[in-house]
Structure 1
Amino acid sequence: MTKTPVCVVGLGLIGGSVMRAAAAAGREVFGYNRSLDSVQAAQADGYDATDDIDAALTRAADSDALIVLAVPVPALPLMLGHVRDIAPGCPLTDVTSVKSTVLEEVRSFGLLDRFVGGHPMAGTAQSGWAAGDARMFVDAPWVISVDDHVRTDVWAEVMTLALDCGAFVVPARSDEHDAAAATISHLPHLLAEALAVTAGEVPLAFALAAGSFRDGTRVAATAPDLVRAMCEANAAQLLPVLERTLGLLNQARDALKANHPLSELVDAGHAARVRYESFDRPEIVAIAIGEPGWREELAAAGRAGGVIRSALPTLDSRGESPPRRR
């Protein structure tokens, strides 16, 4: 069975990796990037890329391709405007680290019917086409939104792409994704920046720095504009998490001032890390996409740690296979 072509809009670290991974899986894939240098680099590596967004989206419309938005949040309105004008009938997803903001942007452009949000939880501190890797997503979580509006056919398309790229799928509602991402992605970026700044003010620190400092500041090497974009776009969810963290650090500060042990924070942190190391991810196999309550069931399964490692069956509201879009 021929799989849907993929049009990747934005060929940086994640978009470029999606293009490579989809091509490695045998998918027809083409893409756009505004930087001619990146386009030429992609072409030199044998990939089908252009710096003409209208041409890329016209081709997507003609082939009914799955469009993957892989641009920073501030660039979304411009790209969504092009999609609305040229390829409004194409299935649409994204790989952005904030889901609720993207959802509202998509809604404002009248494209919600064809949209299913996505977020591969993978990456490095590097950026640009050259940083991409066809194996970036292998055995990595790829969140796919199960918000109330999502269509069965589009959700199935996005699921299949994620699985083709080697990831396992974590179904989640957009708001729940953003709350979780604030704790395990956006907060670590702020902590890494603060740690790097603090160490940089101590003359001997960099000379002594080893594994703890390297691991704790790795994401501080990420391009600052990308860090600002993701954290600022998720401010509503990030603020309470940051307040909670500051509260814990303030308690540790007060304990040190009073010459009291740090047991409360250190023991609780150690216990949480041990729970993470043993966290179970059971495979979701008993839910069919399109059956009554499927969105709620998938969200609940994802909330409990469930993941999708092989494609789930797809049914329409009558329990039949859905018709092709074309």
Structure 2
Amino acid sequence: MTTHQLPPVCILGLGLIGGSLMRDLHTRGERVYGFTLHGARAARRDGFDVSDSVEEVLRRAESDNALVVVAVPMRAVADVLDQVAKFAPSCWITDVVSVKQPVFELIVERGMQARYVGGHPMAGTEFSGWTASQEGLFASAAWAVTYDYARTNPTDASWAELFTTVCRMASVVGAEAVPVSVGRHDEAVARVSHLPHVIAEALALVGDRGGTLAQSLSAGSFRGATRVASTSPELVRNMCETNAESLVPVLDEYIELIQAARDSLASTPPSMKSLSESGHRAHLRMAARKGARRESVSPVEISSRPVMRVHPGAPGWVQQLDQIESLGGRVEVF
């Protein structure tokens, strides 16, 4: 008899992230089915339980008490949530959208916050669609899991169970759950996810203006720095425009650094000392945090991907999440 770690999972949207989640859950023996308008036939040919009728899958999810995963672009989230409200009014909801504040606002507008936990796996490629999905995409990736609702409702046992389920789903597919508030999430991803897209697009333009000679001489540093410029422009717009409130101040920081470097290089003698040394130190700090040992269970081991075990719903559990968030740590639930 198969033992499932999760309730049935219904994924709405089977692009790179939703499709990869379906593949991983299926491989691990979990009950998973989904909806997509584009690629449903291909997904069924690949052996997956996929429909092109959102009403059909949501009615099924309601009867199964399934966890509904919203995996559509931000522009489609409001319509999808309306469908969930209509056809799966008691189902738990999570999402994998790259911004969290705008999604949470839509959730609150619909009075769904008691059955919603936001999510965002920090994984992906520059490709999109079902055909881009793959097993193992989330291995060792951070999976942001939001907990704003718990700050005012720490004793809501049903919500605590939902939070546990979302963290467990991340673990099942090999990711590491990171508790975050929606506002801090959006500011952080503006820095490390959305700003790189802006930079890559601009750098690709500058390189292209050098003509065929620049293209011929371009090497690994240019290809690496511009890799994400191959992402669909629609996806880039969706990410950056929906997080503009957080992205613009971060872009201002970047422009200030670039302007200072420009002025320093234009001086006599030209110098890159300040930016090269401070940037190198920052890179070493981030690399050390990214590569720190995961075995740590102490929240004070800031070397630094601390893992803290939390019992959702227990006294003081939200304060534990606050502490983990402040350290950028991982959470394990029990």
TM-score range, shorter chain: over 0.9
Which secondary structure does the structure 1 equivalent of 2:257 belong to?
helix
Query: 3-state SS of the aligned residue for 1:59?
Result: helix
Residue 167 of structure 1 and its aligned partner are, at CA, apart by: 0.4
Whether the 8 Å contact between 1:146 and 1:299 is mirrored in structure 2 is no
Unaligned stretches of 5+ residues in structure 1: 314-326
Deviation larger for 144-153 or 172-181: 144-153
SS at match of 2:201: helix
Does structure 1 conserve the Cα–Cα contact (< 8 Å) formed by 2:168 and 2:333? no
Alpha-carbon separation, structure 2, partners of 1:271 and 1:14:
33
The separation in 2 between residues aligned to 1:167 and 1:176, in whole angstroms, is: 20
The answer to whether 1:281 aligns with 2:305 is yes
Counterparts of residues 213-292 of structure 1 (less than 5 Å): 213-259=222-268, 260-279=270-289, 280-285=304-309, 287-292=310-315
Deviation above 2 Å: which 4+ runs of structure 1?
Answer: none
- Out of 14, 18, 21, the position equivalent to 1:15 is 18
Partner of 2:115: 114
Query: 1:87-125, CA deviations, whole angstroms, 9 ceiling, x for partnerless residues?
Result: 121010000110001100111122111000000000000
Unaligned 5+ runs, structure 2: 154-158, 290-303
Alignment length, in residue pairs? Answer: 308
Distance 2:264 2:173 in 1: 48
1:26, distance to aligned residue in structure 2 (A): 1.1
Query: Structure 2 counterpart of 1:131, which letter?
Result: A
- Residue range with higher mean Cα deviation, 141-150 or 75-84: 141-150
Residue matched to 1:208:
217
Aligned to 2:78, the other structure's residue is in SS state: helix
What's the offset of the Cα at 1:153?
1.2
Code of the residue aligned with 2:42 in structure 1: it is A
Task: Tell me by how many angstroms 1:268 deviates.
Answer: 0.7
Q: Does 1:34 find its partner at 2:44?
A: no
Q: Counterparts in 2 of 1:131-146, with a 5 A limit? A: 131-146=132-147
Q: Is 2:215 aligned against 1:192?
A: no
1:165-193 C-alpha deviation (Å, 9 max, x unpaired): 11011111111111100000000000000
Question: Which residue in the other structure is 1:174 paired with?
Answer: 182
The Cα of 1:85 is off from its aligned counterpart by 0.6
State how 1:285-304 maps to structure 2 within 5 Å: 285=309, 287-304=310-327
RMSD between superposed Cα atoms in Å: 1.2
Q: Which amino acid aligns with 1:41?
A: A
Secondary structure in 1 matching 2:308 = coil
8 Å contact from structure 1 (residues 148, 295) kept in 2: no
1:12-161 matches, within 5 Å, as: 12-35=15-38, 38-149=39-150, 151-161=159-169
TM-score normalised by structure 1 residue count: 0.92
Q: What amino acid sits opposite 1:173 in the alignment?
A: S
2:143–2:178 Cα contact (<8 Å) kept: yes
- Separation of aligned partners in 2, 1:298 and 1:112: 18
Moved more, 291-300 or 182-191: 291-300
Alignment-mate amino acid for residue 262 of structure 1:
M
Secondary structure, aligned partner of 2:323: helix
Question: Contact 1:159–1:169 (CA<8 Å) still a contact in 2?
Answer: yes
Is the partner of 1:253 in helix, strand or coil? helix
For the residues of structure 2 that align with 1:43 and 1:172, how far apart are their CA atoms?
Answer: 35
TM superposition shift of 1:221 = 0.8
2:292 corresponds to: none
8 Å CA contact 2:197, 2:236 repeated in 1: yes
1: CA distance, partners of 2:273 / 2:313: 49
Equivalent position SS for 2:34:
strand
Amino acid at match of 1:281: R
Q: Cα distance, 1:81 vs. partner?
A: 0.7
